[in-house]
Amino acid sequence: MIRTAMIFAAGKGERMRPLTLTRPKPLLEVNGVSLIARQLQKLKAAGVERVVINVSYLAHLIKAALTDGSQFGLEIVYSDEGEVALETGGGIRQALPLLGSAPFILTNGDVWTDFDYATLGDLQRKQLAHLVLVDNPPHHMKGDFALENGRCRTCGAAKFTYSGIGVFSPALFANLPAGRYSLAPILREAMSLGDVRGELYRGEWNDVGTPERLAALNQKNLGNPALMRLLT
What span, in angstroms and rounded, lies between the C-alpha atoms of 165 and 89? 14
Q: Give start and end residues of each alpha helix (H) in the chain.
A: 35-45, 59-66, 87-99, 184-192, 211-220, 225-231
**pLDDT of the residue at 91:** 97
pLDDT at 227: 41
Query: Residue type for 33, please?
Result: V
Nearest to 110 by CA among 182, 205, 21: 205
Return the sign of the alpha-carbon dihedral for residues 123, 126, 128, 134: negative
Successive 10-residue mean pLDDT values, the chain, 232 residues: 96 88 93 93 97 97 98 98 96 97 95 94 90 93 94 93 97 94 96 95 90 85 47 37
CB 96 within 8 A of CB 170: yes
Bridge partners (DSSP) of residue 198 are 131
**Per-residue model confidence (pLDDT) at position 232:** 36
The two most distant CA atoms of the chain are separated, in Å, by 52
Specify the pTM: 0.91
Strand-pairing partners, residue 165, are 132
Residue 205: its pLDDT value, please?
A: 93
Query: For residue 222, what pLDDT is reported?
Result: 56
- Give domain limits for the chain: 4-231
Preceding amide of 211 cis, omega within 30:
no
Compute CA distances 109 → 97, 150, 151, 192, whole Å.
20, 26, 25, 28
4-231: CATH topology: Spore Coat Polysaccharide Biosynthesis Protein SpsA; Chain A (3.90.550)
